[in-house]
Structures are given as C-alpha cells and as structure tokens.
C-alpha cells in the first residue's frame, strides 16, 4: 500500500444536528448534535483511514477550533500535520429537518491566510523526507490563498515524484489543470465551468472529460453525475457506472468518500476499473450515514458488489 498525503486549505469543524422543522423566527430546538473534523482533504483522510490506507493530513489550523480539529483527528488515528495560523479555523453546520426530510448546509468562509502561512503549507510538503506517492488536494481555497495555489502544489508534487489528485472548482481547479495533474474529480457543474458551455447530454460530458485527458491536463478524470452515477475517462478509454438506488440520509461527504476509495484502491495498485467501482460504492455509502458521518467500510464493501461498470457508447 502506497502512502497518501491530503492537503486541506479550508479545514473546518463540521457541526451537525436535527430539528423537528426549520421555520423562521422561532427558536429551533436541536438534537442528535455531533462535531466532526471536516473539509475536503480531511474527509478524504478520514475515509482512507477507515479503509486501511496509509494517510497523513496537512492543514492550516488556528484558535480553539484548530486545536479541536487536531484533537478529533488524533481520536480517529490520523497523522496530522497542522500549520499554525493566526485566524481561527472555520466552523460549518448542517441541520436536518425531520418534518420534510430536507437537509440545510451552511458553509462558512475559510480562515484568511497570510502569504507566509499558505507558503508554509507548500514548504512543508516540499520538505518531507519521504515524499508521498499520492497528494490529494481537496476543497476550496480560503481567503488570502492565491488562485494558483494548487498549480504551485502541482509543481511541488512533480518535483517530488508524487501523483497529484485535485478536487476543487473555479479558477483554482482551472489553474491546477493547466499545470497538469494525475487525477481530477469534478462534478458536472464544475466541468461546465471549465469548458464554458452547458453539457446537456451525457455524450457532451464524455467528450469534455476526454479532452482533459487528451490535452494532458489530467491523466484520469472521475466525473460525478449525482443521481445518474459517474463517468471515468483515462488514456485507457472511458467507463460508466450507474447510480445505486438507496434512501438518502445525508449527502455530506459523498464526493470525498468517492475520492478516498478511489485513491485507496489506486494506491494498492488495483486496476482502474476496480478502483472506479469502489469509488462509486463509497460515494453511495456516504449517503446512508447521518450528518457528517461519511462512508463506513462495511457499507462500501457491500455496495461494491452492486456497482455495474460498462463502456459508454
């Protein structure tokens, strides 16, 4: 099993709770309260750990929320590499409305980073005595971080001989792709932003993903299509997996679970189609857990058997 480092520039403390009904003005009494370490790369690290992967997590952390983030990751047995910052680590929260079954997700802005703080994150990766085989950069960039941060990380990864995996959006994702990455995991909306045009048909999505591979901007494109499943494009061709029908409890962390399972199997040198099947199973498994709980290994292994992969027309 190869080593993985996750980089999360906007980590968070994710608070989740449930209330009978979300209505204005009235005090909403909440129950089922839990706090979890969060942010794209942090979530990837949590799922990788559950699956038995070798993973470390690098993230900027500040104030009492930053200390709590570190403590919660320690509790899950994840090797943390916090970079001290002046601002407090952000907090976000999710509220489930029992009456309607709807889920409300409130995402607060990331802690603002000074130039020396985001540079320290890059320097810490560069200074690793043993470069990781995979670097997973996941999530949005916080205020203060340059839009080409992931592109700079791509150059660090290339110098170290690491494979960079990116899950982000907007200009940060576009800049990373211009630098070249190993794997990218956009959703359909993010791919449309990259191409600058609507991708109304699945054939349009397939063609856009193939163009990213053919241009050398990514070796692998794992495109999540929500309730329609997922699509994979690589130099070996394209694969398509339909969604597994399940009753959705919470959509939090589905994309992160998808990415974690895929990197887990790729780091074990599994075939690309098998890694893709595990990714779809993990993304589906995350839908079965409440709040910010993420995917469980038992659910992933069970759902893996139900994933059907085929070549798109």
Residue 172 to residue 138: CA distance in whole angstroms: 11
Q: What SS3 state is found at 271?
A: coil
DSSP 227: G
Q: Token pair of 272, please?
A: 């690309």
Q: Is 219 exposed, middle or buried (0-12, 13-18, 19+ CB in 10 A)?
A: middle
Q: Output the CA–CA distances (angstroms, integers) from residue 191 to 172, 204, 213, in the order listed.
A: 13, 10, 13
Q: Output the CA–CA distances (angstroms, integers) from residue 177 to 170, 185, 236, in the order listed.
A: 11, 11, 19
Could you give the residue ranges of the DSSP H alpha helices within the chain? 40-51, 63-75, 115-126, 149-160, 170-179, 188-195, 202-214, 254-267, 272-286, 297-304
Catalytic residue, candidates 204, 256, 273, 299? 256
74 is catalytic: no
Residues classed as catalytic: 256
């Amino acid at each position: 099993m190869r080593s993985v480092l996750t980089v999360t520039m906007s980590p968070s403390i994710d608070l989740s709770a449930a209330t009978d009904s979300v209505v204005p003005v009235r005090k909403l009494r909440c129950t089922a309260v839990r706090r979890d370490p969060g942010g794209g790369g942090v979530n990837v690290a949590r799922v990788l750990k559950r699956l038995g992967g070798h993973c470390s997590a690098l993230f900027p952390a500040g104030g009492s929320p930053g200390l709590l983030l570190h403590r919660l990751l320690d509790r899950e047995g994840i090797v943390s590499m916090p970079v001290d910052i002046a601002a407090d680590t952000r907090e976000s929260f999710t509220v489930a409305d029992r009456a309607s079954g709807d889920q409300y997700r409130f995402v607060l802005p990331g802690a603002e980073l000074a130039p020396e703080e985001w540079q320290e994150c890059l320097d810490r990766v560069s200074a690793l005595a043993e470069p990781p085989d995979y670097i997973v950069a996941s999530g949005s960039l916080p205020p203060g971080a340059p839009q080409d941060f992931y592109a700079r990380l791509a150059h660090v990864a290339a110098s170290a001989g690491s494979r960079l995996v990116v899950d982000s959006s907007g200009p940060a994702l576009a800049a990373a792709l211009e630098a070249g990455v190993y794997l990218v995991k956009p959703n359909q909306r993010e791919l449309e932003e990259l191409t600058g045009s609507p991708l109304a048909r699945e054939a349009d999505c397939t063609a856009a993903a193939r163009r990213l591979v053919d241009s050398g901007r990514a070796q692998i494109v794992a495109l999540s299509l929500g309730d329609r499943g997922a699509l994979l494009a690589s130099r070996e061709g394209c694969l398509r997996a339909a969604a597994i029908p399940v009753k959705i409890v919470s959509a939090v962390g589905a994309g992160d679970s998808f990415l974690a399972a895929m990197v887990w199997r790729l780091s074990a040198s599994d075939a690309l189609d098998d890694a893709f099947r595990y990714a779809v199973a993990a993304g589906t498994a995350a839908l079965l857990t409440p709040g910010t709980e993420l995917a469980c290994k038992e659910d992933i292994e069970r759902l893996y058997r139900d994933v059907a992969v085929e070549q798109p027309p």
